[in-house]
Amino acid sequence: MSNDHDGTTRPDDAPFVVELSGVHKEFGDAKALDGVDLRIRAGEAVAVMGPSGCGKSTLLNMVAGLDRPSSGTVRVQGQDLGGLNENGLALFRRRNVGMIFQFFNLIDDLPALDNVALAAQLTGTTARQARRRALELLDELGVAHRKDVYPAALSGGERQRVAVARALMNRPALLLADEPTGALDSRSGEQVMDLLIDLNQIGQTLLIVTHDPNLATRCASRLVEVADGKVARERMLEASS
């Protein structure tokens, strides 16, 4: 049994959601990843830290199926991403992965509700069903009252909550967060951290890339430090919240 970030226990035999084995990634002559091995079990919250340019965002892109390794294998939910074409990767992301970004990446021309519903509608869910589920999520995240507001009129924290709701829309096995508090003021950042902790507490697997030690220690149960494209160190974290 292992400790989770909040002190609860997680079975050691929980299935692996993410399995990276000998992953290399080169951009021309530059090595972004240099033989990375990483495994994340279901329900785990893992933070990846490291200096700028160390390869942590590239690592996240590999797991999300946004980029392909030069060599090595990336398996998510038991699926080898190397065997998927662009279409297959899109379907994989749709079914298995939710992503939140530093700059939210909401569509400016759609109100909060439709931004969230969009992810489900791409799978063929009807507009009515998608909006109902989106409203539930916005409600759970405390921004239901802002459902008809367009991104330009939302605060940073509200935008990130809407982005989280969108990421959770298709009930992904894995939630990926790239500097989720990087563009937020401290109060909004705290709120987003609480939200991630809550999600992990109800079993959501998290992979967070961040520069912020506070975010890593508060939200993650394990810290992976990356340097020069390699996993330099891994350690379990004590719960701090």
Partner 1 sequence: MSGAVWRASRAAVKRRRVQTVVIGLVVFCSTATVLLALAVISAARAPFDDAFEAERGSHVTALFDPAKASAEQLAATAHRPGVEAAAGPFDQAVVTIPADWVGRPPGPLALVGRPDPASAPVDRVELLAGRWASAPGEVVVNNPGGGAASRFVGTPLTTNTGVKLTVVGFATDMSQSSGGWVTPEQAAALHPTGRQMLYRFTDAATEQQLTTSLANATEGLPEGAVESGQSYLVLKQAFSAGADAYLPLMTVFGVLGLVVAALIVGNVVSGAVISGYRHIGVLKSIGFTPRQVVTVYLTMVSVPAVVGTVLGTAAGWVAAGPILQAAFSGISTGTAVIEPAGWLPVATLVSVPLLAALAALVPASRAHRLSAAQAISAGSAPRAGRGLKVQRWLSGTRLPRAVSLGLGQPFARPARTALTMAAIVLGVVTVTVTTGVTTTLAKSMAAPDRSTHIDVQTSAFSENKIAPRLTPEQTTAMLHTTPGAEQVSVRGLVRVGILGQPQLVFADFYGGDAMVDHRRLNVVEGRLATGLNEIEAGPAFLDQHGLKLGDRVTLVLEGRQTTVTIVGKEIQGNANAITSNDATRALLTPDPHVVEYDVKLAVGADAGAYQKAVTGADPSLSASVVTPGTEGSVVAIQTFSTTFSALLSVVAALGVFNTLLLTIRERRRDLGMLKSIGMTPRQVVAMTITSVAWQGVVSGIVGIPLGILVHRLIVEHVRIIAFPDSMIDVWGAPLLAALALAGVAIAVLGALVPARSAARLPIAEVLHNE
Shortest distance in whole angstroms from residue 125 CB to partner 1: 9
DSSP secondary-structure letter at 231?
E
- Give the closest residue to 77 by CA, choosing from 90, 101, 93: 93
Shortest spacing between CB 129 and partner 1, in angstroms: 11
Instruction: Quote the least distance from Cβ 121 to partner 1, whole Å.
Output: 4
Given the complex with partner 1, which of 64 and 207 has the nearer CB atom? 64
Of 109, 42, 32, 118, give the one whose Cα is nearest residue 67.
32
Do residues 37 and 62 touch, judged by C-beta distance below 8 A? no
Residue that the structure tokens 């020069």 belong to: 228
8 Å CB contact between 201 and 49: no
C-beta of 102 vs 221, nearer to partner 1: 102
CB of 64 to partner 1, least distance (A): 7
Side-chain-side CA neighbours of residue 46 (13 Å) = 27
Task: Using the structure block, give the residue that is written with the tokens 């700028």.
Answer: 52
CA 231 to CA 33: how far, in whole Å?
Answer: 9
Minimum CB–partner distance for residue 227 and partner 1 (Å): 19
* Identity of the residue, 130 or 197, whose beta carbon is nearer to partner 1 in the bound complex: 130
Rounded distance, CA 126 to CA 28, Å? 44
Residue 97 beta carbon to partner 1: minimum distance, rounded to whole angstroms: 8
Nearer to partner 1, 5 or 166 (CB): 166
Minimum Å distance from CB 72 to partner 1?
Answer: 17
* Stated length of the chain: 241
Q: Report in angstroms the alpha-carbon separations of 182 from 51, 66, 161.
A: 14, 21, 14
Q: Which residues bind partner 1 (CB under 8 A)?
A: 57-58, 61, 64, 66-67, 86-87, 90-91, 93-95, 98-99, 101, 103, 105-111, 114, 117-119, 121-124, 126-128, 131, 150-152, 159, 166-167, 170, 178
The smaller minimum CB distance to partner 1, of residues 5 and 131, is found at: 131
Indicate the residue among 4 and 114 with the shorter CB distance to partner 1: 114
Q: Which is nearer to partner 1, 119 or 216 (CB)?
A: 119
Of 234, 181, 170, which Cα lies nearest the Cα of 204?
170
